[in-house]
Amino acid sequence: MIHPTRTLAALVVAGTAVLAGCSTAPSTSSGPTYSSYDSAGASSMYGTIDSITVTRTAGTTNGSGALIGGVVGGLVGNQVGSGSGRTAATAAGALAGAVVGNNMEAKREGDRDMYQVSVRLDNGDYRTVVQDSVYDLRVGNRVRIVDGRVYRY
């Protein structure tokens, strides 16, 4: 005989694992992206801002919303029906709850503006850095790139 509690636990774990694979990875867009780059010359870290472009990044999830939603959905689904119908309702509730929980977590994080700063380096190469603010940066400013961020100097 299939034990409903074990079935529920297995379905919640399986549904959470599936949805965790669908969740977005934490944004790494605050780090730099590189084009041709000469790390040997110190002057390659200095340049002039060529352009600043605003981009929108979607909210990210870590899977906790899917986990909580899956558990709650499974518990609610387990209250419906009896026998194999209850098992099916539990599985459907866990899956639906995980999807809803994951979406709610992504919306709670919200979209953010990020800035792509394109810098023409003194050695002639270009470098694009994506960061969360441009505070006092303007096109044409002389800048220095340190640890993946652009600063005026």
Q: Is the pLDDT of residue 101 over 90?
A: no
Number of structural domains, the chain? Answer: 1
3-12 burial by CB neighbour count: b if 16+ within 10 A, else e? eeeebbeebb
Please give the residue range of the domain that contains residue 44: 4-152
Mean pLDDT (whole number) for 78-104? 86
pLDDT digits (tens, 9 = 90+) for 35-86: 444 444 444 489 999 999 998 776 667 888 888 888 888 888 888 878 888 8
Write the pLDDT tens digit of every residue in 128-146.
999 888 888 999 999 999 9
Residue 33 clears pLDDT 50, i.e. is over it: no
Helices (H) and strands (E) counted in the chain, each on its own, are: 3, 6
